[in-house]
Amino acid sequence: AQSVTQLGSHVSVSEGALVLLRCNYSSSVPPYLFWYVQYPNQGLQLLLKYTSAATLVKGINGFEAEFKKSETSFHLTKPSAHMSDAAEYFCAVSDSGAGSYQLTFGKGTKLSVIP
């Protein structure tokens, strides 16, 4: 069974500071990994995804994530936080095995950006 652990349910950073949101996964087969963002009262929007090509994945809004198999991690980073980045971020995993198409989500990390 696959699972996702997001360390820190709430992260606060100053505007302009580095954003680092942590995600560790567990999967019995090579995983596909996703980061989604949820703004208040909205659905989830895909930031980026890892599908076994490059280990460093660039996404929208200046975010990127690095897949590290040895650490079973897929942490999300952004060099300089902007006020508009305040939202909840979800890491998700999907097995590459046949018949396993659903996403398994972490509990989410709420990002606050302090002006």
Partner 1 sequence: DSGVTQTPKHLITATGQRVTLRCSPRSGDLSVYWYQQSLDQGLQFLIQYYNGEERAKGNILERFSAQQFPDLHSELNLSSLELGDSALYFCASSVEEGSYNEQFFGPGTRLTVL
What is the closest distance, in whole angstroms, from the C-beta atom of residue 104 to partner 1 in the complex?
7
- Sites for partner 1 among residues 49-108 (CB under 8 A): 49, 51, 90, 94-97, 99-108
What is the closest distance, in whole angstroms, from the C-beta atom of residue 107 to partner 1 in the complex?
5
11 binds partner 1 (CB under 8 A): no
CA distance between the termini of the chain: 41
Residues that bind partner 1 (CB under 8 A): 32, 34, 36, 42-46, 49, 51, 90, 94-97, 99-108
